[in-house]
Amino acid sequence: MRAGGVSAISPATEMLERNPKKEQLALAAIAMALLQYTPEVAFSDDFSILMDVSASLQLFEGPLAICRRVAASIAALGFTAELGAAPTAKGAWILARSSRNKELPLRRRVLKMDTLTRRLDGLPCHLLPTTLPHHEWLNGIGAKNFGAIRRLPRAGLMRRTSKQLLEDLDRAYGNLSELIEWIKVPSTFSASIETFDRIEHAETLMFGATRLILQMIGWLVSQQLAVTVFTLSLEHERGRSAIPPTTLEIALAEPAWKETHLIRLLQERLSKVELIAPVIGIRLDARQLVPMRPPTESLFPEPGGSPADFYRLLELLTARLGAENVLTPAASPDHRPEVCNAWVPAADKPAKKSAEGETLERPFWILPKPIALLMRDDRPFYGSPLKMIAGPERIEAGWWNDQTAARDYFVAQGSDASCYWIYLERTQEARWFLHGLYA
């Protein structure tokens, strides 16, 4: 109807201008999110999306379960959809469109060809767009459903209708192969969305951020990748009064591609953000990626949880408390005891050992400051004369930053069998120091 006619009938009706560009962006966002269920996703007529889930049915525990998950993903994006499932793409498309007619049965998921044939035969022919130009003629001869059309002589039907109508019927009934152009997945992921209003509270952005996370998950699964670092950019004013975007970088201790964990992690970060200006758009970028490695189920799982659970806890604490407040010890490539270990953010990947099989007889307890030792009978003294039982471990390092250390470390033992880690400072005036204690 025209706007004037609508206003005359219902003055309270709100008029919204159609935006085809935004409609295509929304459809592309849905298709990207659905890639997590199958890599074969394609666009179709009447704002429809086709998915070939033949190889995914066992993974997602059957057609009913995968339909529920697809519907839930679309709802999380803020849209509603009518689903149809059938052995043929055209048949599934017709079944999905049949949901608009409330008088028709609600069975829109069929798995066998003979069941699909019986189901299509009873559907009205207007569900197929190529029948609409011939709707009056078909009604006049009593062909009101697909079954009646198929019973008509094929040669005469082609002369009076069109070749496209017969081909669509053949594709729906599985008598003609379907050539579908699946969407091409980009090599990198970057998606954005405009907010419905000027947002002044960061937590309000979670709905839009969730939509972007779902798209990234679909992209990750289709590429068989996992993300370790992704960024969320909060865009502010543009034009003359432009303000640089606020960027949140989320680093993960373990690669992830699961919806629940990524959304919860982002929610924790957004709850701590104070906006410098209203937000008018958000952008999500996947920065660092690694090949996906699905976790293997252990026959005897750890009672305290898997290492992945531990890393997810660290990521959650980091998002809640800040990276500077959640630290873990990590090795540093330096031989000096006072600098070979450091506290680093727990979300960072801990460094691995530089040399395999190397065992150093170093104590667990290193003193914060070495203690100078007395000498008794040419032997270092700490409560009692010390006897060398292992060593030396010679260290020469630090010349690159004017903190040269030239030492010989020994494991020494006192008269009470206590062990100490001492070193001889190799300078002009050689001195002994206590640097560590053994348990």
Instruction: Enter the pTM of the model.
Output: 0.67
- The residue-averaged pLDDT of 87-116 equals 82
The confidence band for 207, taking pLDDT boundaries of 50, 70 and 90, is: confident
The confidence band for 404, taking pLDDT boundaries of 50, 70 and 90, is: confident
pLDDT of 2 over the 50 cut: yes
Radius of gyration (Cα) for the chain, nearest Å?
A: 35
pLDDT in tens, 17-31: 888 888 899 999 999
- The residue-averaged pLDDT of 304-322 equals 70
